[in-house]
């Protein structure tokens, strides 16, 4: 999987809004803080446009994302928010320029659709905080701190406290996935996620538990769980109980499908719609170890760094 270059001082971050509409003050706050990191910031032409619940028309959102992909000066594309809308434009986006001029794309939730396209093309991207989620001050904020580390190459991995549903073991595989609803929505499309041998990241928000059960059933029945190396369960926030499973939690529902797999599973990883939302490299090889002390996620270096890593750990 191709790794885009890490960002250096004065590199340009372009903020686009390929999904839901976003408040101008939110974007201004994020832009100011990114400039404090030493990067330049520019906005997509229609980044602050509102068209019903979308950030502009399909054509406007498509044009901004394509312009950022095509722009040789842009080192990273930061999606302003998720919501809904990426699936309406993804098939008219030409990602081919990223094969010769790779750049980081950052986002989560509805942005999972774009991540899926990039993974299909063999490109790494970052599942992480977006301007809508930036705090008023980044001082001490774990989400934005980890995002900066991911963009600059300082992110190596995480240690996660134990969880009662954790499944022990060791695994190594490409990290894939993201928002469960969007992964299921990509089924039978050109961007359908094929997680064979992968460590699968799952997160979601605001779903009824019976719907969560149905989505996990879809992954099971379609064979997408059969050849996983491991699973990282992120945040499942604001989930809704229902008459079918009144005494269940989201993790209980997930465990029904993950426990029989007999692969390591890390529950409670802080990524998704809660705080903190720690950055993760999608499309990079990940080592996952789960034991009674908790879980450890370690990203493997790429390129020359990878050769050094393997020689040091041989």
Each domain of the chain, given as residue ranges in start order, spans 12-155, 158-312
Q: Is the confidence at residue 307, as pLDDT, over 80?
A: no
Q: Is the confidence at residue 30, as pLDDT, over 70?
A: yes
- Mapped onto helix, strand or coil, the DSSP state of residue 184 is helix
Q: ∠35-107-204 over CA atoms, to 5°?
A: 140
Q: What are the φ/ψ torsions at residue 77 (nearest 5 degrees)?
A: -110, 115
Could you count the other beta carbons within 10 Å of the beta carbon of residue 111?
28
Determine whether domain 12-155 maps to CATH 3.40.640.10: no
Under a CB-based contact definition with an 8 Å cutoff, are residues 56 and 81 in contact? no
Instruction: Tell me which residues are annotated as active site.
Output: 109, 203, 273
DSSP annotation of 240 reads B
Give pLDDT tens digits for 107-119: 999 999 999 999 9
Q: Can you read off the two tokens belonging to residue 85?
A: 């809308």
Q: Domain 158-312, what fold?
A: Glucose Oxidase; domain 1 (3.50.30)
Residues 6+ apart with CB under 8 A from 294: 159, 160, 161, 162, 163, 166
Give pLDDT tens digits for 92-141: 999 999 999 999 999 999 999 999 999 999 999 999 999 999 998 878 89
The pTM of the full predicted model, rounded to 2 decimals, is 0.95
Evaluate whether 12-155 and 158-312 have a shared fold.
no
pLDDT at site 309: 33
């Amino acid at each position: 999987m191709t790794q885009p270059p890490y960002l250096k001082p004065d590199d340009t971050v372009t903020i686009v809004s390929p999904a839901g509409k976003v408040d101008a003050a939110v974007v201004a706050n994020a832009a100011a803080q990114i400039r404090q990191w030493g990067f330049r910031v520019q906005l997509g032409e229609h980044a602050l446009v509102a068209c019903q619940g979308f950030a502009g028309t399909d054509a406007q959102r498509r044009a901004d994302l394509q312009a950022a992909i095509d722009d040789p000066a842009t080192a990273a594309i930061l999606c302003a928010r998720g919501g809904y809308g990426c699936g309406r434009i993804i098939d008219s986006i030409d990602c081919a320029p990223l094969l010769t001029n790779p750049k980081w794309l950052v986002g989560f939730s509805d942005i999972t659709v774009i991540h899926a396209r990039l993974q299909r093309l063999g490109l790494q991207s970052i599942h992480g905080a977006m301007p809508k989620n930036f705090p008023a001050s980044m001082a001490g904020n774990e989400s934005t701190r980890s995002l900066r580390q991911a963009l600059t190459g300082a992110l190596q991995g995480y240690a996660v406290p134990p969880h009662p549903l954790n499944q022990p073991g060791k695994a190594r595989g490409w990290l894939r996935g993201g928002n469960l609803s969007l992964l299921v929505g990509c089924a039978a499309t050109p961007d359908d996620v094929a997680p064979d041998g992968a460590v699968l990241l799952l997160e979601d928000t605001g779903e009824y538990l019976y719907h969560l059960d149905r989505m996990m059933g879809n992954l099971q029945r379609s064979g997408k769980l059969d050849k996983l190396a491991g699973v990282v369960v992120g945040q499942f926030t604001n989930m809704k109980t229902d008459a079918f499973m009144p005494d269940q939690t989201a993790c209980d529902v997930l465990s029904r499908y993950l426990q029989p797999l007999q692969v390591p599973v890390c529950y409670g990883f802080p990524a998704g719609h809660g705080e903190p939302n720690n950055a993760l490299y999608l499309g990079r090889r990940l080592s996952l170890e789960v034991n009674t002390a908790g879980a450890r996620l370690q990203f493997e270096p790429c390129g020359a760094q990878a050769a050094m890593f393997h020689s040091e750990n041989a």
